[in-house]
Structure 1
Amino acid sequence: MLRCSFTSARETGVCEIMPSQLSIVVVEADRDRALQIVDSLRTAGEYEIRVISEPTGLARQIQQHNPDMVLIDIENPSRDMLEELTLASGPKERAVAMFVDRSAAGLSAAAIEAGVSAYVVGGMMPERITPVLEAAIARFRLFQRMRTELAETKRALEDRKVIDRAKGMIMKARGVNEEQAYALLRKAAMDQNRRLAEVAQALVSSAGLLL
C-alpha cells in the first residue's frame, strides 16, 4: 500500500510503501518527477520509500531516516554538486544510485571514486530501476567487504608490529629467546583474558612511560 504526503511550502514529501523490504530515500526536488519515481519503484517491487525534496540539511535528513539506499535524480550535475550530494548521502554507510539526464566528461569516474554505487546517464526509466538497484547494492556490498578486509589486514599488521616490539622487550629484560618471550606474552594474555596484541600494547606503553 502506498501512502504519500507533501507538507511543506517547498513540498518536502514522504512516501511509504508497506510492507518494507528495502528502505530507499529518493532525493528529488520536483514533485511530479518524485511521484513518477515512486510509481516506478512501486512497479519494480515493494519498498519503504521516503522522498526528500528539500536539499538543505540533506545529510541530517538521510541520517535520520537511515535508509538502505539513497536514490538521487538530477538533471545535469556539476562536479561540486555531485561531490556535495555524494558526501551528504553517506556512500560508506549505504548504497547510492545517481540518475542524471546529462553528464559532463569525467563526472562518471568522479562519482564512482566518491563512492556512488551506480551512476546512470540518460535519466530514470521504469525498466531500468530493478537492475540498477541490484547492481548498486551488489557494488556497495563488494566495496564494503573490501573495506572490512583492508581494515582487518591493517589491524593484523599493526598487531604484529606491537607484538614483535613486546617480544623484543621481554627477551632483553628476561634474557630469553624469541619463542620463550612469545610464550610468556601469550600466557599473560590468557591469564588476563585479553587479546595478545592488547597485552603487548600495554607492555610497550608502560615501557614508554619509564623512558
Structure 2
Amino acid sequence: MTIEVLLVDVGSSRAATLRAALEEAGFGVVGVVADGEGLYEAVERLAPDAVLVDADSPSRDTLEHLAVLGERYPRPLLMLSPRDDRRMLAGAADAGVSAYVLEGVSPPLVRSLVEVAVRQFESVQTLRRELDEARETLASRKVIDRAKTLLMERHGLSERDAYGRLRKAAMDRGRPLVEMARAVLERGAL
C-alpha cells in the first residue's frame, strides 16, 4: 500500500523538489496546497495518510492551521524547514507536528521520516483509543457500583444480590447494564 502525502507549500521554492523526492521515495503525492488556502477541504477531499508542510518560515497562522487540522482530521503532520529555530520547533510540537526536519530532502531520508511518523501516529492513535475505552469502562463500572450500593441500602441486599437484580432487570428489558444502573440512580429503584 502506497502512503499518500499531501504537501503544504508555505512560500518556499522547494515544493517541486520535495514532490520529486517523495515520489522517488515511493510515496503518492495527492496534492499541493498553499498555507491555509483550502487546507481543510483538501485533507477532507483527498484523505492523505500524512501531511508534509514545507516552510521557509512557518508563521503562527500556519501552526494554528496545523493544530486545528490535527483536531479535525487526525493524521501525521511533518514539517520541513531550512532553519533551526527552537521556538518554531516548540510551536510545531505544540501544534501536533510529529517530525520537524531541517533542510535535506533525499528520498531515503524522506521515506524514513514519513514512514516513522505514520507508524508513530498510528501507535499514538491506538493508545488514545485504548485509553478512551478504559476511561469509558471505568466510568461505567462506577455507575454500576453506585447503583448496586443504592440497591443494597434501600433493599438490604448483599452486593451479589444487588448485582444479580440489576443484571436481571437489564436482561429483562434488553438494555445494557450501565443504562439500567443509570435508570436506578435516576429513579432510586428498579
Q: TM-score range by the shorter chain?
A: 0.7 to 0.9
Q: Distance between the aligned counterparts of 1:109 and 1:56, measured in 2? A: 24
Q: Percent identity among equivalent residues?
A: 35
Q: 1:49 aligns with which of 7, 27, 30?
A: 30
* 1:166 corresponds to 2:171: no
* 1:108 corresponds to 2:89: yes
Q: Would you say the 8 A contact 2:10–2:53 is kept in 1?
A: no
Q: Distance between the aligned counterparts of 1:87 and 1:194, measured in 2? A: 39
TM-score, normalization by structure 1 = 0.77
* 1:84 corresponds to 2:64: yes
More helix by share: 2
Give how far 1:123 is off: 4.6
**Structure 1 gaps, min length 5:** 1-19
**CA distance 1:29–1:107, shift in 2 (3 Å):** closer
RMSD over aligned Cα atoms = 2.5
* 1:93 corresponds to 2:74: yes
Q: Distance between the aligned counterparts of 2:133 and 2:76, measured in 1? A: 22
The one-character-per-residue Cα deviations of 1:152-177 (angstroms, maximum 9, x if unpaired) are 12112211211111111211232211
Counterpart secondary structure, 1:72: strand
Give the count of matched residue pairs: 188
Q: Would you say the 8 A contact 2:35–2:62 is kept in 1?
A: no
Counterpart secondary structure, 1:52: strand
**Structure 2 gaps, min length 5:** none
Q: 2:8 aligns with which of 15, 27, 37?
A: 27
**CA distance 1:104–1:29, shift in 2 (3 Å):** closer
TM-score, normalization by structure 2 = 0.85
* 1:64 corresponds to 2:45: yes
Q: Which has the higher contact order (CA 8 A, sep 6+)?
A: 2
Counterpart secondary structure, 2:63: helix
